[in-house]
Structure 1
């Protein structure tokens, strides 16, 4: 049996669509925290650099803790929910 051809039904266009503002995943505060965390990681690597006294307390203990703190802050900046504006 032959099938009958029917045109697809097109929904009528609404007169006016309400435009909603685009909501980004990250807020301005997230980007600031992320930039600060990158600066902290860079500072930690600067503290680790150099070729004199490789067994100094700064290079072995303090610099790795600064780098880990920077990575922790970056992790927090990514997972932080942006503030809701009502």
Structure 2
């Protein structure tokens, strides 16, 4: 088998392309950032209640970022990597 045919055969074996992985890593970044923003707000003393757990950042922003990240993961999985190459 020629070098070109071997490269083409290896290329066709990949389920996800470069664009898929790029979107997956962007989605993972959103998810990680959401969980980082959600962390904290606890109290060292169990008898003291800390109101910081109800901040806008933890209730609205962080879960929204996690959901956006999950949506990007679905988009990355469904993205057809061969579509861009056929147009070139």
In the superposition, the TM-score normalised over structure 1's length comes to 0.72
1:84 aligns with 2:85: yes
Deviation of 1:84 (Å): 2.9
Q: How does 1:1-80 map to 2 (within 5 A)?
A: 19=5, 21-22=8-9, 23=12, 24-51=14-41, 53-80=52-79
Q: Rg: which structure is higher?
A: 1
CA–CA distance in structure 2, aligned partners of residues 51 and 68 of structure 1: 21
Larger helix share, 1 or 2: 2
CA–CA distance in structure 1, aligned partners of residues 71 and 23 of structure 2: 11
Higher relative contact order (CA 8 A, sep 6+): 2
Q: Which string of whole-angstrom CA distances, capped at 9 and with x for unpartnered residues, describes residues 10-45 of structure 1?
A: xxxxxx89x361212211010011011101100000
Runs (4+) of structure 1 moved beyond 3 Å?
none
**Structure 1 unpaired stretches of 5+:** 1-15
**Structure 2 unpaired stretches of 5+:** 43-51
CA–CA distance in structure 1, aligned partners of residues 40 and 59 of structure 2: 12
In the superposition, the TM-score normalised over structure 2's length comes to 0.70
